[in-house]
Amino acid sequence: MKYHIGVIKGDGIGSEIVSQAMKVLDQIAVKYGHVFQYTQLLMGGCSIDVNGVPLTDETIQACKNSDAVLMGSIGGNTTTSPWYQLPPDRRPEAGLLKLRKSLGLFANLRPCVLYPELRGACTLREDISSQGFDMLIMRELTGGLYFGERRTEEVNGVMTAVDTLSYNENEIRRIAVKAFEVAMKRRKKVTSVDKANVLDSSRLWRKVVNEVAQNYPEVTLEHALVDSTAMQIVKNPAQFDVMVTENMFGDILSDEAAMVTGSLGMLPSASLNETKFGLYEPSGGSAPDIAGKDIANPIAAILSASMLLRYSLDLQTEADAIENAVKKVLQDGFRTGDIMSDGCKQVKCSEMGTLITERI
């Protein structure tokens, strides 16, 4: 089969880690008889340098013409980069928000898995990390505070800023349906996270999630407040299977969950719309301080490529092959610097990509 994949390498370490993911995909293509045709695209700081804006209409259209998009990290040093002297709507991250909205990418999936081989890198106590955990955080991605009406103005002589958190029932229902569908393929448990004791938007969220749950009697649903959930992630992460929540809560909780796995460099993500199309990217940032040194961890980008095969191309066997190759490399004791521990062999970014490729 032939597939068209848009590739946005991005800024900082983006080019390095995405190149390793493409190396792995090329090996999958050879082994399983596929053709992956890549279209190189610009977004973020590199697009600002070339086009003067973080995202062009041409790039949006090229993404729409692809079966899926593989992306690296975008952005730079917020204190020294000239990109951050520009107005907010022309900075690198504005391109990402616009792309998500333009492609209708409302569901962000972040698997947070603690591999047995990396339990020593976990920041939690050994009695907690020894249990391991495998949770998937599903974050609503195109609504809430990040996309609501906002303004800063002087009111009665006092500068006042307003950000609006808005959700309608259709936005909540579609992300809830995604969460229950994914849970049916996992351990059949959904934790819906809100702040229903304070916010009207959360009370509507809880009402709609309860309605959706009626169609999935095999799935256990629990509701949890966001502050309590933040505590439970560091107290007992093994209790969670699929967690679904709104945009800002999901942004914060997924980073917290990422940290307890040991490194952001291990965590992939998928952003999906109502079709099989998706944008796949590592959860970590562009790390400009280590860019070009060949020391970044490419595993998150490689696992993002695995998610691309699984969710957008329906290539389950091929996705399993990548994930098993990652596990084998870790079992064999190879580590990049961020997950290095005693008795293991430290390798560079490009070496890690080659090692995983060899095990497919």
pLDDT tens by residue, 190-239: 999 999 999 999 999 999 999 999 999 999 999 999 999 999 999 999 99
Q: What is the pLDDT of residue 118?
A: 86
Among 225, 260, 295, the domain boundary falls at 260
Number of domains in the chain: 2
Q: Are residues 99 and 128 in the same domain?
A: no
Give 171's pLDDT tier (boundaries 50, 70, 90).
very high
Q: Are residues 69 and 100 in the same domain?
A: yes
Please confirm, yes or no, whether 32 is among the known catalytic residues.
no
Residue 81 lies in a domain: yes
- pLDDT tens profile 317-354: 999 999 999 999 999 999 999 888 888 999 999 999 99
- Say which residue, 216 or 147, is predicted with more confidence: 216
Q: Are residues 256 and 319 in the same domain?
A: no
Beta bridge partners of 136: 111, 242
Residue 118 lies in a domain: no
| Residue 163 pLDDT exceeds 90 | yes
Q: Are residues 140 and 202 in the same domain?
A: yes
Q: Are residues 207 and 241 in the same domain?
A: yes
List the catalytic residue out of 57, 89, 163, 227. Answer: 227
Residue 142 lies in a domain: yes
- pLDDT tens profile 249-269: 999 999 888 888 877 788 899
State the average pLDDT over residues 271-277: 92
Q: What is the pLDDT of residue 342?
A: 86
Q: Are residues 13 and 105 in the same domain?
A: yes
State the average pLDDT over residues 47-76: 96
Give 120's pLDDT tier (boundaries 50, 70, 90).
confident
Q: Are strands 278-282 and 268-272 parallel, antiparallel or unpaired?
A: antiparallel
List the catalytic residue out of 26, 134, 251, 294. Answer: 251
**On the CB side of 309, how many CA atoms lie within 13 Å of its CA?**
27
CATH at residue 175: 3.40.718.10
3-state secondary structure 294-358: CCCCCHHHHHHHHHHHHHCCCCHHHHHHHHHHHHHHHHCCEECHHHCCCCCEECCHHHHHHHHHH
Please say whether the beta carbons of 294 and 287 come within 8 A. no
Please confirm, yes or no, whether 3 is among the known catalytic residues.
no
Q: Which of 332, 246, 260, 339 is nearest to 298 (CA)?
A: 339
Residue 53 lies in a domain: yes
> How many of the other CB atoms lie within 10 Å of CB of 29?
17
State the average pLDDT over residues 35-48: 97
List the catalytic residue out of 32, 101, 189, 255. Answer: 255
- The CA-based diameter of the chain, rounded to the nearest angstrom, is 68
Burial of residue 351, with CB atoms counted within 10 A of its CB: 0-12 exposed, 13-18 middle, 19 or more buried: middle
Among 260, 278, 305, the domain boundary falls at 260
Q: Are residues 322 and 334 in the same domain?
A: yes
Q: What is the pLDDT of residue 285?
A: 85
Residue 50 lies in a domain: yes
State the average pLDDT over residues 120-130: 86
Query: C-alpha distances in angstroms, 43 versus 46, 47, 292?
Result: 6, 5, 19
Distance of alpha carbon 29 from alpha carbon 308, whole angstroms: 14
Q: Are residues 212 and 97 in the same domain?
A: no
Q: Are residues 86 and 142 in the same domain?
A: no
Q: Are residues 244 and 342 in the same domain?
A: no
State the average pLDDT over residues 74-103: 92
pTM metric for this prediction: 0.88
Q: What is the pLDDT of residue 11?
A: 96
- Say which residue, 117 or 66, is predicted with more confidence: 66
Give 175's pLDDT tier (boundaries 50, 70, 90).
very high
Please confirm, yes or no, whether 64 is among the known catalytic residues.
no
Q: Are residues 186 and 217 in the same domain?
A: yes
Residue 99 lies in a domain: yes
Residue 154 lies in a domain: no
Q: Which residues of 195-221 are buried (b: 16+ CB within 10 A; e: fewer)?
A: bbeeeebbebbbebbeebbeebeebeb
Residue 281 lies in a domain: yes
Q: Which domain holds residue 87?
A: 1-111+264-360
Q: What is the pLDDT of residue 222?
A: 98
Q: What is the pLDDT of residue 126?
A: 87
Distance of alpha carbon 35 from alpha carbon 138, whole angstroms: 30
List the catalytic residue out of 115, 146, 167, 280. Answer: 146
State the average pLDDT over residues 170-186: 95
Q: What is the pLDDT of residue 123?
A: 83
**Residues sharing a CB contact under 8 Å with residue 285, sequence separation 6 or more, in sequence order:** 12, 73, 75, 264
| Residue 283 pLDDT exceeds 90 | no
- Percent of the chain exceeding pLDDT 90 equals 84
Average pLDDT of the chain is: 95
Q: What is the pLDDT of residue 135?
A: 95
Please confirm, yes or no, whether 311 is among the known catalytic residues.
no
Q: Are residues 139 and 246 in the same domain?
A: yes
Q: What is the pLDDT of residue 41?
A: 98
List the catalytic residue out of 11, 115, 195, 241. Answer: 195
Token pair of 319, please?
């996705």
- Percent of the chain exceeding pLDDT 70 equals 100
Please confirm, yes or no, whether 255 is among the known catalytic residues.
yes
Among 260, 292, 314, the domain boundary falls at 260
